[in-house]
Amino acid sequence: MKRRYLIFTLIVILAMIIIGCSSKDQTQTSGTSETKASVLEESLISENGATETTETTLPSPTPTPTPSLPPQEVLVSFIGDCTLAEAAAWNGSSKGFDAVVNGDMEYCFKNAREVLSQDDMTLANFEGTLTTATSHKEKEYAFAGDPSYVQMLTYGSIEAVNLSNNHTDDYFDAGINDTRATLDEAGIVWSDETNYSVYEVKGIKIGMAGTSFPTNRQAMYNAIDELRSEGCQIVIISCHWGIEKDYKPREDQVSLAHDLIDYGADLVVGTHPHRLQPIEFYNGHYIFYCLSNFCFGGNTSLGDPDSVIIQCNFKMDETNSYVVDYELTVIPYCQTTVWPGNDYCPRPYEWSSDDYYRVLDRLEWSQEDE
């Protein structure tokens, strides 16, 4: 009896030992699994018995390379003086700009919009103001268009203007400030001798500055330096210069244009004489000495209606860092659809007409265009 009792006792003790070991193993296994899942660590036993903790580093994702753009081509259109106003002394004239246009914001550029809307940027010389100011300088021609007229520029797909000319301050500081604010609100970039502008398209930055009757070249040298430092791959300088009604540039125009090209400008474009002057190809770059007027509300009648749209295709290098080539297309225009007179609505000259070839002759330009 005692022997049976001893055997039974030993069996119970053995069973308890086995159950306890099994529970311990399960607890250890569960704890190890939870630790790995929560902190991503492994415990290692060193040779001297110490425990070292090593953090498991996840592999870094492979960066996606930034795709490089192929060599770009940027098409820029250039037009001459745009005065969307009439002289203050003529207000109320039935032949004046306000009366003829009669608030139609699509009227002036309706015959040019198709051309200008297909480029990457259009640059015009904006000669006048967009202001409601009434106090102006005592001069024969003081130009102030209603600020709403900025819609004419946006409809015509004109993205940039030069404000460095002899009519920007016709209405003093009020006129200047109103004009700048109106252009800013419309999204049209503007530039002058101390304020430079940058227009970006296709990943290419086009830098612009302008000068009026310049006597100090350094101002434009500074502009070129600043625009290049801002990363502009194309730099265009507008020059309001020369003598009215001249068909040829004066020596000071030529000298300045050459210096600006030599200093680093890609292209120089001129206005003010109200006449077409030749295109020059100098040191691998183009100079437009004068584009004449385009849409000019300053006169009810025009002494010479010839005008032009010049389009320059800037071809970039393989890294899109600088221009390697320039291609021009010249489109002869008339400033009015009515001649003699001026209805402030430019139209293209018919291809191969005498008018068409007269424009090319004045620009000293020939092209195989049709």
Q: Cβ contacts of residue 9 below 8 Å, gap of 6+?
A: none
Which of the 8 DSSP states describes residue 185?
Answer: H
**Beta 267-271 vs 41-45: how paired, if at all?**
unpaired
Q: Is a pLDDT exceeding 90 seen at residue 199? A: yes
**How many whole angstroms from its chain centre is CA 333?**
25
In 98-221, which ranges are E strands?
A: 121-126, 160-162, 189-191, 197-201, 204-212
CA 36/CA 42 separation, integer angstroms:
7
Give helix 217-229 / helix 251-263 axis angle, nearest 10°.
30
CA 306/CA 274 separation, integer angstroms:
9
| pTM for this entry | 0.82
| CATH superfamily assigned to domain 74-363 | Metallo-dependent phosphatases (3.60.21.10)
Lookup: tokens for 92: 């109320």
- The pLDDT score that the predictor gives to residue 216 is 86
Q: What is the pLDDT of residues 251-309, one digit of tens each?
A: 999 999 999 999 999 999 999 999 999 999 999 999 999 999 999 999 999 999 999 99
CA angle 181, 185, 191 (to 5 degrees): 55
- The pLDDT score that the predictor gives to residue 4 is 46
CA 24/CA 264 separation, integer angstroms:
83
Omega of the bond prior to 340 within 30 degrees of 0, cis?
yes
57 or 92, higher pLDDT? 92
Q: What is the pLDDT of residues 119-175, one digit of tens each?
A: 999 999 999 999 999 999 999 899 999 999 999 999 999 999 999 999 999 999 999
Q: Predicted confidence band at 63 (pLDDT cuts at 50, 70, 90)?
A: low
CA 264/CA 282 separation, integer angstroms:
12
Q: What is the pLDDT of residues 294-320, one digit of tens each?
A: 999 999 999 999 999 999 999 999 999
